[in-house]
Amino acid sequence: MIRHLFKLIWNRKKSNFLLITEIFFCFLVLFGVLSLVFYNVRNYTKPLGFEHENVWLLTMQTATDSAALNHQNQEQVLQRVRSFPEVEYAALTSSNAPFSFSQMNNVFSAGSVKGIQADVYEVQDDFKDVLQLQLSQGRWFGVQDNASNHEPIVINRAMQQKLFGQEDALGKLIQVNDTTNFQVVGVTDYFRAGSEYAAEEPACFTRINFEKNPTYFWNELLIRVKPGTGIDFEEKMVKELAGIGKGWTLEVSTLEKMRQNKAKLTMIPMIALGLVCGFLILNVALGLFGVLWYNISRRNSEIGLRRALGAASGQIYRQFIGEVLVLATFGLLLGVVFAVQFPLLHVFQVEPEVYVTALLCAVVLIYLLTTACALYPSRQAAIIQPATALHEE
């Protein structure tokens, strides 16, 4: 039966060519959009690795060039912020605070593994409490590291796996350049600070030693406030701090708001793409439906003849659905040959599972779609009375 159907479609490949092409492109569109959706959903379901509620980000821009003065003012600002009763913890950080638009990378090596690119976060000791990081191994850095030989570093699991594989990372040395070595003191489970939709990348934290570095000015201060602290405290804080840093530009935003901004950047294109894709598919479905209906209704005489020769209406029904499924298979075969290249060649460095799931889902969806489009026309064909059909001829 199936071989027969394949033969039928193959013999009419010329007149079915356009339908097959349409299914082929439809599959590609679905595959593309589903890959994107699955990629983002997969990332979204992984934990962020930190708590961003009630955390504010204070950005400071200095007015003068005097490094000593700025450093001194910064120390005062830090003290003042920590002394507010509304503030639980505060920590200076490099400009790549969570959900911000800036990134800092460096290349690390450990032992025989060389050249691993990782996000670097320069942070103060309180950073762990501000973001409530959970360490799976080792400890966070603190004052006891003031005297240690190597700079302490905390890495995330992705980085541990890339640098050390299954080995224990604690106490190991990580090299940045010929003169600098970091010693791993702790490992966190996850840390994805870019956005909820970002993939899990290697990341590490290095320690800001405020006293040892009297010339540098850190622009960003992360502050964990008590729940329920509102805008009136923000105004009060900014006014007081503006009094310490004369002429500084101070800007306060909440991590929650920054998270929403970042999420929008992913969501809006995805929604727009989804709508466009939905429209394309609907368009194709309607077209397929119309064309199938027309084609089947033109084969009245053939159906009449088969019925007259004793075919049951169920057989006719199944034949037409079968024909459409075979048609879809031709289009899909072409499409799948094209689409499997993506997981095989690791295009865009996305895990193969994402592509494979998207591929399977797209195949299933196309089959469902074509079957749905063929249901009504096939039923129309199946209920034709042989006498009427043959009479028409």
Parallel, antiparallel, or unpaired for β 151-156 and 181-188? parallel
Parallel, antiparallel, or unpaired for β 249-254 and 55-61? antiparallel
Binding region for other proteins (CB under 8 A) out of 14-22, 92-100, 178-186, 364-372: 14-22
Q: Is 104 in the site for other proteins (CB under 8 A)?
A: no
Decide whether 46 or 114 has the Cβ nearer to other proteins. Answer: 114
**CB 151, min distance to other proteins, A:** 22
Decide whether 135 or 176 has the Cβ nearer to other proteins. Answer: 176
Q: Is 61 in the site for other proteins (CB under 8 A)?
A: yes
Q: Is 103 in the site for other proteins (CB under 8 A)?
A: no
Cβ atoms of residues 244 and 77 within 8 Å: yes
Residue 162 corresponds to which tokens in the numbers above?
A: 């890339």
**CB 294, min distance to other proteins, A:** 4
Sign of CA dihedral 159, 165, 170, 176: negative
Sign of CA dihedral 148, 150, 154, 160: negative
**CB 260, min distance to other proteins, A:** 13
Q: Is 244 in the site for other proteins (CB under 8 A)?
A: no
Q: Is 67 in the site for other proteins (CB under 8 A)?
A: no
- What residue has token string 């929008």? 264
Q: Is 263 in the site for other proteins (CB under 8 A)?
A: no
Select from 291, 305, 340, 365 the one that contacts other proteins (CB under 8 A). 291
Decide whether 115 or 310 has the Cβ nearer to other proteins. Answer: 115
Strand partners, 122: 206
Binding region for other proteins (CB under 8 A) out of 47-55, 86-94, 181-189, 289-297: 289-297
Select from 8, 116, 199, 252 the one that contacts other proteins (CB under 8 A). 252
Residue 329 corresponds to which tokens in the numbers above?
A: 């298979």
Select from 284, 373, 374, 389 the one that contacts other proteins (CB under 8 A). 284
| Helical spans, DSSP H, in the chain | 2-11, 13-45, 67-83, 127-131, 157-164, 231-244, 255-297, 300-308, 313-339, 341-345, 352-382, 386-392
* CA 164 – CA 168 distance, rounded (Å): 7
Q: Is 270 in the site for other proteins (CB under 8 A)?
A: no
Select from 47, 142, 269, 290 the one that contacts other proteins (CB under 8 A). 290
Amino acid identity of residue 267, one-letter, is M
Select from 180, 239, 333, 383 the one that contacts other proteins (CB under 8 A). 239
Select from 69, 116, 176, 250 the one that contacts other proteins (CB under 8 A). 250
User: By CB under 8 A, how many residues form the interface with other proteins?
Assistant: 39
Q: What is the DSSP string of 87-142?
A: EEEEEEE-S--TT-S---EEEEEETTEEEEEEEEEEE-TTHHHHHT--EEEE----
Q: Is 372 in the site for other proteins (CB under 8 A)?
A: no
* CA 347 – CA 34 distance, rounded (Å): 15
Select from 2, 10, 21, 383 the one that contacts other proteins (CB under 8 A). 21
Binding region for other proteins (CB under 8 A) out of 105-113, 190-198, 236-244, 351-359: 236-244
Decide whether 67 or 286 has the Cβ nearer to other proteins. Answer: 286
**CB 186, min distance to other proteins, A:** 31
Q: What is the DSSP string of 171-190?
A: T-EEESSSS-EEEEEEEES-
Which of 205, 182, 212, 207 is closest to 104 using CA atoms? 205
Decide whether 65 or 211 has the Cβ nearer to other proteins. Answer: 65
* CA 318 – CA 29 distance, rounded (Å): 29
Instruction: Kindly list the residues in this chain that would bind other proteins in the complex (CB under 8 A).
Output: 12, 15, 18-19, 21-22, 25-26, 29, 61, 63-65, 231-232, 234-235, 238-239, 242, 249-253, 268, 276, 279-280, 283-284, 286-287, 290-291, 293-295, 298
